[in-house]
Amino acid sequence: MLPQRLIESLVGLFLLFAIFSLTVLAFQVSGLTSLFPDQTYTVTASFDDIGGLKVRAPVKIGGVQIGEVAQIGLDPVTFKAVVKMHIRNQYNDIPDDSSAGIFTSGLLGDNYIVITPMYNTTYLKNGSKIEMTHPAMVLEKLIGQFMYKIGNNGNNSSDNGEKNEKK
């Protein structure tokens, strides 16, 4: 039989290993840190409306995540949202005439940025700006526009009816 002190030491080491493993797993799953951070370059884009876009939202091309949103700010002159994105260095062949749009995962999901590559032979580099952008489609705005059109259609049809009766 093993001495009591050796058993307690092994249990303690096992417990420390378990706590360390769970901590590493929690950080990896949450995406807060990486043991080996990717080398990235920064690209900016200005949007009229970013909807619910958040820092750390994915940046994708063709459904493949190529980076993430690093910072969101407001341009004091144009009052547009300025989004800084970190793009992984391995994706250094994105044409500089590409466009960026904000999309939603599903009907009510999180927002993310999609970059649509174009055809230039010069590429985005650190500090580049994407000029052509498409704002987020905000569900509340779409519903409001729909309700407004329904309300106006009802008013227009009654006005047309009154005009026809007067003739």
Instruction: Tell me the whole-structure pTM to 2 decimals.
Output: 0.71
Residue type, 19: I
Which sign does the torsion angle of CA 43, 71, 26, 65 carry? negative
Q: Which residues pair with 48 in a beta bridge?
A: none
Express each pLDDT in 79-134 by its tens digit: 999 999 999 999 999 999 999 999 988 777 889 999 999 999 999 999 999 999 99
Structure confidence at residue 141 (pLDDT): 82
Structure confidence at residue 158 (pLDDT): 46
Its domain, for residue 133, covers 40-143
- Contact, 66 vs 115, CB < 8 A? yes
More confident residue, 51 or 166: 51
Rounded CA-CA distance 14/21 in Å is 10
- Would residue 100 count as lying in a domain? yes
- Contact, 109 vs 136, CB < 8 A? no
- Would residue 116 count as lying in a domain? yes
On average, the pLDDT of the chain sits at 87
Residue 159 pLDDT > 80, yes or no?
no
Structure confidence at residue 161 (pLDDT): 47
- Would residue 69 count as lying in a domain? yes
- Would residue 111 count as lying in a domain? yes
Rounded CA-CA distance 14/27 in Å is 20
Counting beta carbons within 10 angstroms of the beta carbon of residue 82, is it exposed (0 to 12), middle (13 to 18) or buried (19 or more)? middle
- Would residue 107 count as lying in a domain? yes
- Would residue 129 count as lying in a domain? yes
Structure confidence at residue 35 (pLDDT): 62
Residue 143 pLDDT > 50, yes or no?
yes
- Contact, 98 vs 119, CB < 8 A? no
- Would residue 159 count as lying in a domain? no
- The count of structural domains within the chain is 1
- Contact, 93 vs 123, CB < 8 A? yes
More confident residue, 16 or 158: 16
- Would residue 156 count as lying in a domain? no
